Structure 1
């Protein structure tokens, strides 16, 4: 009994000593010490390995973490290869002869060959296939469709393997020399538009989820999408959006960013935690009442701590339930996973035909520019519903990639 009560007794003794010390020290001294200990000692010690924190020690951890990530990703690629080699029965989502079934949600995987040892597309396809198997009746009207935009499709062994399990379309039938008049960014846009168009023609789905071949879905993807499509996106201010983005880079998710909505969220966090922490402080220090300076201090304290530790890690708490996911006005960068309704996908096709992509104006920037020029609206889901695992870009050569 003495051993079980010892921690509680130590805590109470420490609280008594703290309250005694508070009687002989001013609040300014106490809060100054709290600030120094939090931001100068505790937070750096706890967060120095958090990749998306300001406390992250890049010089110490970036190279080994990048190497470890690539090693693990390569192992996951091999596991995905074994998954499909052991999968004997072709998936029911394969197109029947001339009579495709109209799905409620079509998952189109856009793929091109790159580093073979990572098997990116197999990782994505295997995760989607497994999640569909686990989803049960809710996902029985979901389909997977593969869009191969490799210029030499016959040499793309991973796509050939997937073609035995899923319906697939190839943009190029045989090896075709690249058109020198078309830059790589314009080609990527045309490939994307081709896959979008073929998905609509082949299936005419209610909704279309277009993912790139290095965007691995999170475990909760389908329950969250089910909730968003049936509940959230039916609301007037979200209905008829041009697209819903399912990924934004974690390094761009801090509060101090161009998106004004995040500033409001940041202020709201301070308004909530400021009074809460002040109450705890008043109780711990034995002070009878709250004062505005102390509430303001703890509001700024909590806001600063949240920003420096990383907003990304606070967003992870929303994964507890589909209803907690946030839908906010869209941000510009990156489109590994995009959700379209059938009407919005047709509008996007028409818009993209009138745009010429180039360096500095890739397809994600081009699509974002349409919101202003065409008077459209688009949104992004927080936290991310896919993980971007591709360390090697199909647009830019990089022999020594890093996580950041």
Structure 2
């Protein structure tokens, strides 16, 4: 006996043409079901911005503030290492150095404490596999001693300061060029102080995901050992979710989108033929379901499909990099030295910030770089140090 729903479906199919059925299927999916299910998904075309953006932004800020307080309590309750333990860590040459670049901003959110506490906790959980990893703090605030969160972290981790209190950097340097120079300073100090094999340069509002270390170990020991990936200039661990859509055109994404349609088109056509009692597949039906699945994936949001890759480190993907942004960047020691040499010849300005400058090197210097999908960090800082905004939104 067939299930009641399937019997009704097959009975209905005797009185309806395939065109009528597929049209009804499309209307129900895109006009009813998808809007009802996806209207609260931030990165979906069905997201109802006017209904949800303000309350979701306020909830995010409140949760972020609570996370900041939790991070503060984490370090206040942590046993402080003595100075010799911090100094002895510099004598080692770590396999991976995690350098956190920090500047003072909106102290109530404790951004840098959130980042440092998550990295510290994940390293403790990782155990012996991560014993050759180190955390290093790079304070680029113009008044470093007033940066209270950095002062607190300085009792747990080695730290370098770019400026002395009261020092006035070159006034002729714009904010974008200063940010580039700060970035280069932190990368250079990472190499000089520790001589690591790899440097993970993290901005102070990029909180790592739980799986970051297993994924990095898989990528560096397996995937990036291949000749065509080994000499990459950098590996980007974050790309904004709003820019991850298929129709934010990048050639590899378009190929992925068509591949999705080629896979799901025949599969959904087979299920449709079986449910309606039809004997064989037809090309119009396969083409319809290919386009249907491609449209649904784009409208619901590619970001949510990428989240499925978190099931295992090996499922994370490497694709050619795009120009935005730099919350978390991984460099090998040789590539870090090349980056430092390249950046010296570039002057940043509005419209040509350090992320675009790094991306421009791929074309002018014949370099390659890749981005990991899905993201390995979450960008939690809604208050930018470059573009002040007192009423930030999630989008």
* TM category, shorter: over 0.9
- On the 8 A contact 1:206/1:341 being kept in 2, the answer is yes
Q: Superposition pairs for residues 234-273 of structure 1, below 5 Å?
A: 234-273=225-264
TM-aligned CA deviation for residue 91 of structure 1: 8.6
Shift of 1:96: 1.9
**Partners in 2 of 1:258 and 1:92 — Cα distance?**
51
Q: 2:148 matched to 1:157?
A: yes
**Does structure 2 conserve the Cα–Cα contact (< 8 Å) formed by 1:240 and 1:344?**
yes
Distance in 2 (alpha carbons) for counterparts of 1:34 and 1:98: 62
Per the alignment, residue 290 of structure 1 pairs with 281
Query: Hey, what does 1:209 align to over in structure 2?
Result: 200
Q: 1:255 to 1:94 in 2, by over 3 A?
A: farther
Contact 1:327 1:381 in 2 (8 A): yes
Q: What corresponds to 1:227 in structure 2?
A: 218
Distance in 1, matches of 2:363 and 2:123, equals 36
* 1:291-346 deviation per Cα after TM superposition (whole angstroms, max 9, x unaligned): 00000000000000000000000000000000000000001111100000000000
Map of 1:299-310 to 2, 5 A cutoff?
Answer: 299-310=290-301
- Decide whether the 8 Å contact of 1:93 with 1:167 is kept in 2: no
Give the distance between the partners of 2:114 and 2:84, measured in 1 at CA: 18
1:384 maps to: 375
Aligned to 2:391: 400
After TM superposition, give the deviation of residue 98 of structure 1 in Å.
9.4
Seen in structure 2, the aligned counterparts of structure 1 residues 231 and 325 have a Cα distance that, compared at 3 Å, is same
Structure-2 separation of matches of 1:364 and 1:313: 25
1:345 maps onto 2:336 in alignment: yes
SS at match of 1:96: helix
Q: Is the 8 A contact 1:242 1:378 kept in 2?
A: yes
Quick check: 19-28 or 171-180, which moved more? 171-180
Which residue of the partner structure matches residue 349 of structure 2?
Answer: 358
CA distance in 1, matches of 2:47, 2:30: 13
Matches of 1:382 and 1:123 in 2, distance apart? 23
Kept in 2: contact 1:94–1:166 (CA 8 A): no
CA distance change for structure 1 residues 92 and 32 in 2, over 3 Å: closer, same or farther?
farther
Count of residue pairs the alignment pairs up:
395
TM value normalised by structure 2: 0.98
Aligned to 1:3: none
Structure 2 unpaired stretches of 5+: none
Contact 1:94/1:165 (8 A) holds in 2: no
The residue number in structure 1 matching 2:363 is 372
Q: Tell me the residue number matched to 1:191.
A: 182
Residues 398 and 169 of structure 1: CA distance in aligned 2, closer, same or farther (over 3 Å): same
In 2: Cα distance, 1:334 partner to 1:177 partner: 28
Q: What CA deviation, in whole Å up to 9, does each residue of 1:26-51 have, x standing for no partner? A: 00000000000000000000000000
C-alpha change, 1:305 and 1:134, in structure 2 (3 Å) is: same
Distance in 1 separating the partners of 2:23 and 2:47: 24
* 1:144 corresponds to 2:135: yes
Q: Which residue of 2 aligns with 1:4?
A: none
Q: 124-133 vs 176-185, which deviates more?
A: 176-185
Distance 1:273 1:340, change over 3 A: same
What is the distance in 2 between the residues matched to 1:260 and 1:94?
Answer: 49
In the TM superposition, residue 95 of structure 1 has moved relative to its aligned partner by 4.0
Q: Distance in 1 between matches of 2:393 and 2:213?
A: 30
Q: Secondary structure at the match of 1:255?
A: coil
Looking at structure 2, the residues matched to 145 and 99 of structure 1 have their Cα atoms a distance apart, in angstroms, of 9
Q: Are the equivalent residues in 2 in contact too, given 1:330–1:379 (CA < 8 A)?
A: yes
Work out whether residues 107 and 209 of structure 1, in 8 Å CA contact, stay in contact via their aligned partners in 2.
yes
Structure 1, gaps ≥5 residues long: 1-8
Residue 92 of structure 2 corresponds to which residue in structure 1?
A: 101
3-state SS of 2:3 partner: helix
Q: CA deviation at 1:93?
A: 11
- Alpha-carbon offset, residue 89 of structure 1: 3.2
Is 2:125 the counterpart of 1:134?
Answer: yes
The answer on whether the counterparts of 1:153 and 1:175 sit within 8 Å (CA) in structure 2 is no
Structure-2 separation of matches of 1:196 and 1:92:
24
CA distance in 1, matches of 2:299, 2:252: 18
Would the aligned equivalents of 1:149 and 1:191 in 2 still touch at CA under 8 Å?
yes
Query: When the two structures are superposed, what TM-score results if normalisation uses the length of structure 1?
Result: 0.96
RMSD: 1.4
